[in-house]
A and B are shown apart, each in its own frame.
Chain A
Amino acid sequence: MSTFDVSSGRTPTTGRRRAVGRSSAGDAPNRRNTELLMLGFAVLVPILAYANVGLAMDGSLPAGMLSYGLGLGALALVAHLAVRRFAPYADPLLLPLATLLNGLGLVMIWRLDKAGKLLIKNFPAAANQLMWSGIGLAVFIGVVWLLKDHRILQRYTYISMVVALVLLAAPAFFPSRKEDFGAKIWIRIGSFSVQPGEFAKIILTVFFAGFLMVKKDALALASRKFMGLYLPRGRDLGPIVVVWLLSILILVFETDLGSSFLFFGLFVVMLYVATERTSWIVFGLVMSLGGAAVVASTESHVKTRINAWLDPMAAFAPKPPPQSSEQIGQTLMSLGSGGTVGTGLGQGRSWLIQFAAKSDFILGSFGEELGLTGLMALFMVYGLVVQRGLRTALAARDPFGKLLAVGLSSAFALQVFVVAGGVTGLIPLTGMTMPFLAQGGSSVVANWALIAILLKISDTARRPAVEPAAAIPEPAGPERYGPGSGAPDQSRGASS
């Protein structure tokens, strides 16, 4: 452990904090054993699900049972040990929740692999996804290990902006395939493809957090009151207009409704948190609705999606409208056939969803085989991830950390909402993947990185404080605790 300086220079050296942290570790529970126990469940549940699929479809335990169980267990254990070593005070639930989702996703992908010819273009994907999960966990461990303090990221605010812009713009220059339904969200080099939007989500959040930390006072205070709303000055409007334009451009050139909604929503949320001005939300809503209305009325791809949302069964008509797809209708029938308790793993017919059954529409398979009960549980798990992230934001002691944690958590929540809402017909469908569950290397790796950053923020936030003024840049707030006071930490831990 080498000593390092974080950018603000207001924090003490790591060595000193660690030393004190260790001395008080005996009093303040670091919750690592809770994490280990939870992780045990998070590994056990997918293994049982795996066995369940094998028994239902072949009448015997799957041959890969032992290696899958040991592999998933080993990966989780290594991740846990890394957290134990490099982020001892981190939130105890985030790692198990992510492991559970990733494990269940693997089981469902394997189950759909087994559907064989029933699913069109069914290439076995479970092994590949397992490899990507491994890479994801390696990235997770790398971040936990190498990112000494999340505030280092603040140094890269503007580099992040450039990288995010490049990542977002890149897919527009690569040709899209026919089966992408017009969405250009991939970078393809040979058989290798990357969905840069998944990484841009994190990098853009870093940029927003760094940018807003610097500008928040100017944005919040220099405003004019008009009809009870605080309106920003013209020049402060600049950045929000730029982001708004960016999201509209993504929509127009990459026809990616989901990412556009995600990035703009993310920015509005972070702006609101940074400035505490409700007027920004009003502003954001007006701009996004206006932009969406204009684009929806001109872009045929978006119009198709909206029509498919309004009438999901139109594609089944004898003369279906052009470019229509049975996917949403098939997914809804899948969900309805699953009913309250589902058909049981391996016993449904969600392969009827056909295209993208393993990726964007994997929730349909979960809904059919695990039923309403299973989907409620999955949404609960996603909700918990989001709430643990936001709790980290509350507990964080520096504004950059708060903004970053809020940004990452709400991006996660928005993504879950946009994907699950689209698949279940709540909102028009957009091309995004369900974090951790769906097939897709980029998504798994990016989301493991996201969880790792949240863990690092929570580690810093929950670490027993050393000196009041030194460790905490912000004035006293509800999340601030006196030096060496174990009690508040314990009470916080108890509610974890």
Chain B
Amino acid sequence: MNKPIRRVSIFCLVLILALMLRVNWVQGVQASDWANNPHNDRAKYDRYAYPRGNIIVGGQAVTKSDFVNGLRYKYKRSWVDGPMYAPVTGYSSQTYDASQLEKLEDGILSGTDSRLFFRNTLDMLTGKPKQGGDVVTTIDPKVQKAGFEGLGDKKGAAVAIDPRTGAILGLVSTPSYDPSTFAGGTDEDGKAWTALNNDPNKPMLNRALRETYPPGSTFKLVTAATAFETGKYQKPTDATDTPDQYILPGTSTPLINASPTEDCGDATVQHAMDLSCNTVFGKMGAELGGDALRAQAEKFGFNKEVNIPVRADASHFPSNSKPDGTAMDAIGQHDTRATPLQMAMVAAAIANNGSLMEPYLVAQEGSAGNVISTHTERQLSQAVTPATAQKLQQLMESVVQNGTGKNARIPGVTVGGKTGTAQHGQDNSGLPFAWFVSYAKGQDGKQVAVAVVVEDGAGESREISGGSLAAPIAKAMMQAALGK
């Protein structure tokens, strides 16, 4: 009877061995797949099991981790000046996941990033409580505040960039939301979340990065850049040979200027820019052609997403417009669309002598005083030659001195700017968007480039113009950046 017993014994051993192989497969080979499965709630609980790292603005944390000692979550995220910084930080909710920096930098903030492995192991051995790392942003709190308060109750967005480095100094979107209201898991958090998502004003939309607007007259900067780069015009004082009334090519529709009293006939480039003549730049664009305009626009960053590291939507310059459409595209209407970040990049490239620096929001990742990574500045493209950039600066500075941008003048500071009042909606029936795109250079070498857009403000459409609505906000942000 012993032979079969031995065989049964081997059989039983095989059964146990099969179990061992199976757990090796599940807990060894497949372990991370199961651990990171989207249905595995452990990651969610882990994120709030110990203090989450902070997002730093101007040396101060704008986030907090509150010890709430809940049943499932030990900590809850909260924000200092939540509405002001929400477009920068995003949210991190126990129930509704996370967004923007809170989401992208989650590895650092929750301390699970593999680069923190050594420190975590050290902390485990020395018995220090686990803690997440910090994310240092490039935001200047004064610029952020100026933009946020300037926009106030109005719907809109503002972006400020340091042209020399690409560092984003301000990133404002209004109306905004307080991420603290739905960071937890209670019924109130749920109600706040639902209310924010159902709000027709879309407070959770980051307009600075994720909304594309018709850039209107601010796009004339790109059209002028194309004209200088292609050699169509040599200098700002060149006459443009434009008739008083310009008929869109292939149609019988006249292109009209914002005000019929404007003196745009045969204006120089400079004069047309000062007055923001649609006829001059429409004709210029049609003559340059869609391909040349698109090539130049793409050098400024159009038609491509930007990650700062938060993703910004691609701005759009069309590739298949008919000549009359191209004339409209060239003045920032028709199919041309741009994010506020994109227009700030245009101003920054012009201010930085044509060199477009990659915009970035995170200066440093660190933990417990140790720097894990630092941003390296990178040129995105040489958008225009330094010579063209000089000519464009001359145009923009004249706009502020003599033209539509007088509201942005700052004593003792060189300011260049361009206004825009963009039509939109069915038959352009919507209230126009007011734009102001500018840069400022202080005597101490400090620089800043700003783009501000204000969505349909109250009142009649003609009252809204970039110069009156958007320029003061841009001015305040530039003053904050330069310390004036």
Contacts and interface: CB of A to CB of B under 8 A. Distances in A.
Contact of A335 (B9, B11, B34, B71): B34
Contact of A406 (B5, B27, B31): B5
B27 A367 contact: yes
B26 A417 contact: no
Interface string A394-421: 1000010011001001100110110011
Q: Which of B3, B39, B41, B72 has the most CB of A within 10 A?
A: B39
A274 B23 contact: no
Nearest to A414: B15
A302 interface: no
Interface of B: 1-9, 11-13, 15-16, 18-20, 22-24, 26-28, 30-35, 37, 39-42, 45, 71-72
A172 interface: no
A258 B26 CA distance: 22
B5 A336 contact: no
A402 B27 contact: no
3 tightest CB-CB pairs across the interface, nearest first?
A: A336-B34, A372-B27, A413-B12
B42 A352 contact: yes
Measured as residues with beta carbon below 8 angstroms from the partner, the interface class of chain A is 35 or more
Interface of A: 116-118, 269, 272-274, 276, 313, 316, 329, 332-333, 335-340, 349, 352, 367, 371-372, 375-376, 379, 382-383, 386-387, 390, 393-394, 399, 402-403, 406, 409-410, 413-414, 416-417, 420-421, 424-426, 474, 477-479
5 contacts: A276-B3, A332-B34, A336-B40, A338-B27, A402-B5
Q: Which of A117, A333, A414 has the most CB of B within 10 A?
A: A333
Given A316-B39, A337-B42, A424-B19, A269 B8 contact: yes
A316 B38 CA distance: 10
B4 A117 contact: no
Nearest to A341: B27
B34 A337 contact: yes
B62 to A, nearest CB: 30
B22 A376 contact: no
A335 B71 CA distance: 22
A426 B25 CA distance: 10
B25 to A, nearest CB: 9
Contacts of A479: 2
Nearest to A342: B27
Contacts of B71: 116-118
B27 A340 contact: yes
A479 B1 CA distance: 11
Contact of A339 (B11, B12, B13, B27): B27
A362 to B, nearest CB: 14
B129 to A, nearest CB: 12
B26 A399 contact: no
B32 A417 contact: no
Contacts of A383: 12-13, 16
A332 B26 contact: yes
A394 B15 contact: no
B16 A371 contact: no
A477 B4 CA distance: 14
Contact of A329 (B5, B8, B27, B39): B39
Given A316-B39, A335-B26, A417 B15 contact: yes
A379 B19 contact: yes
Contacts of B4: 272-273, 276
Contacts of A382: 16
B20 A376 contact: yes
Given A272-B8, A333-B35, 13 more contacts: A118-B72, A272-B7, A335-B27, A336-B31, A340-B28, A379-B23, A382-B16, A390-B12, A394-B5, A413-B12, A421-B22, A424-B23, A425-B22
Contacts of B1: 273-274, 276, 399, 402-403, 474
Nearest to B46: A349
B31 to A, nearest CB: 5
B42 to A, nearest CB: 5
A214 B20 CA distance: 38
Contact of A424 (B2, B22, B31, B45): B22
A417 B18 CA distance: 9
Contacts of B11: 269, 410
Given A117-B71, A273-B1, A387 B19 contact: no
Given A118-B72, A372-B28, A379 B34 contact: no
B12 A337 contact: no
Contact of A386 (B2, B6, B12, B41): B12
A403 B4 CA distance: 11
B35 A387 contact: no
Contacts of A477: 2
A371 B28 CA distance: 10
Contact of B34 (A333, A399, A406, A414): A333
Given A337-B35, A409-B12, A394 B28 contact: no
A410 B1 CA distance: 15
Nearest to A338: B27
Contacts of A426: 18-19, 22
A353 to B, nearest CB: 12
B8 A376 contact: no
A417 B27 contact: no
Given A333-B39, A402-B5, A424-B26, A339 B31 contact: yes
B461 to A, nearest CB: 46
Contacts of B8: 269, 272-273, 390, 406, 410
Contacts of B45: 349
B26 A425 contact: yes
A332 B8 CA distance: 30
Contacts of B24: 372, 376
Contact of A337 (B16, B28, B40): B40
Contacts of B7: 272
Q: Which of B6, B11, B33 has the most CB of A within 10 A?
A: B11
B35 A336 contact: yes
Contact of B2 (A332, A394, A409, A425): A394
A386 B37 contact: no
Contacts of B27: 335-336, 338-340, 367, 371-372, 375
Nearest to A420: B19
Contacts of B3: 276
Contacts of B13: 383, 386-387
Contacts of A474: 1
Contacts of A410: 8, 11-12
B34 A273 contact: no
A329 B18 CA distance: 20
Contacts of A329: 39
A378 to B, nearest CB: 9
Contact of A313 (B15, B16, B22, B39): B39
